[in-house]
Amino acid sequence: MAVKPAEPPLGMLAELTHRCPLHCSYCSNPIELVTRERELDTGQWLSVLSQARELGVLQVHLSGGEPLARPDLPELVSHASELGCYVNLVTSGLGLTEKRLDDLADRGLAHIQLSVQGADAERADRLAGTRAHEHKLTAAALIKRAGLPLSVNVVLHKQNHDQLAGIIALAERMGADRLELANTQYYGWALKNRTALMPTREQLAAAEPVVRAATERLRGAMEVIYVVADYYEPYPKPCMYGWGARQLTVAPDGDVLPCPAATAITTLELDNVTRKPLHDIWYRSSSFNAYRGEDWMSETCRSCDRRGADHGGCRCQAFLLTGDAAATDPVCSRSPDRELVDLILAAPPPAVEPELVMRRVAR
């Protein structure tokens, strides 16, 4: 089979730091976080941004941890925007003041994604492991006052599915242009909490009409995106729209990842932007080429009519559940490993609900 040459990337997720004021149990960042001393410095991030633009990147997502923890954030926003990139800030909202926001907007920040943990302060603060909800309400008001587009991001799980209608109402009150309701994906820290976070079949069934009604009612005012709980689905998600196809992630220490969760695949040899140009990593590294195209696929996927739609599913999930990153995603009903997922779903509910293990933070 001829290997199709890789297209240039469209987007870059720049994880500026793993430091974060929140302690979310569903965090998909790796178990081992990068400490402050190992973070790229300002000059290195400026170079990463320039290299990314040269490579073709048009959308830059400044993320973390909490990107507002980096004092050089304004400089990085200016640089990315001057390069002609659409700059998105992915934030908890903690640390966002009117002054900082106005400054970032003046420097070309184009969009903000604000995370929300629940519909009210009591629940949301419990899930964030800190008092955060009030700050988010203030942050949303500031973002709207600054005239920036606002996306509200909510990770859904067993502990907040019952608040779905309230969460949608909250996003409306915040004036969100877009609401992403994403069921938890089990990578990194979230995998530790899978039993405590996995929604029940009943919760998912109850969510469906609520999301459908909101999508209809809010059409034209607020876009509602729902990311399904893939363990319950018959086919996997088209993770990353294919490995090394559209986006790259740069971790706080400069490791370049084909997907944000790729450190989970311990067999992958990662390159670092302090040692190799981004261009070489995107086109020539073993990590980016490992699961590009279809040559790596098992016969199950290679002969399947859905392979163009889902690209064989998620490599990280395949590795975490089977130990082989080239396996068909076990979520797939055609996978020889689907039983692994069915056994997880069929496990009897624990006699005592497990405690959430809250995220420990990077220093």
Q: Which residues are annotated as a binding site?
A: 20, 24, 27
Residues 296-335 that bind ligand FES (CB under 6 A): 314-316
Question: Residues interacting with ligand SF4, by CB under 6 A?
Answer: 235-236, 300-301, 304, 306-307, 310, 312-313, 328-329, 332, 334
CB nearer to ligand FES: pick between 45 and 291: 291
Binds 161: which of ligand FES, ligand SF4, none (CB < 5-8 Å by kind) = none
Residues ≥6 apart with Cβ < 8 Å to 30 = 188, 189, 261, 263, 264
Binds 306: which of ligand SF4, ligand FES, none (CB < 5-8 Å by kind) = ligand SF4
Strands 255-257 and 247-250: antiparallel
Binding residues for [4Fe-4S] cluster: 20, 24, 27
Which range in 32-40, 42-50, 87-95, 258-266 contacts ligand FES by CB under 6 A?
A: 258-266
Residue of 295, 292, 297 lying closest to 242 (CA atoms): 292
CB nearer to ligand FES: pick between 170 and 270: 270
Contact call for residue 13 and ligand FES (CB under 6 A): no
Report residue 171: phi and psi, to 5°.
-60, -35
Residues ≥6 apart with Cβ < 8 Å to 218 = 172, 224
Among 12, 239, 281, 356, binds ligand FES (CB under 6 A): 239
**Euclidean distance between CA atoms 54 and 56, whole angstroms:** 5
CB nearer to ligand SF4: pick between 44 and 300: 300
| Contact indicator for 15, 260 with CB cutoff of 8 Å | yes
Report residue 130: phi and psi, to 5°.
-165, 165
Identify the three-state secondary structure at position 26: coil
Which residues form the interface with ligand FES (CB under 6 A)?
A: 187, 239-240, 259, 261-262, 314-316
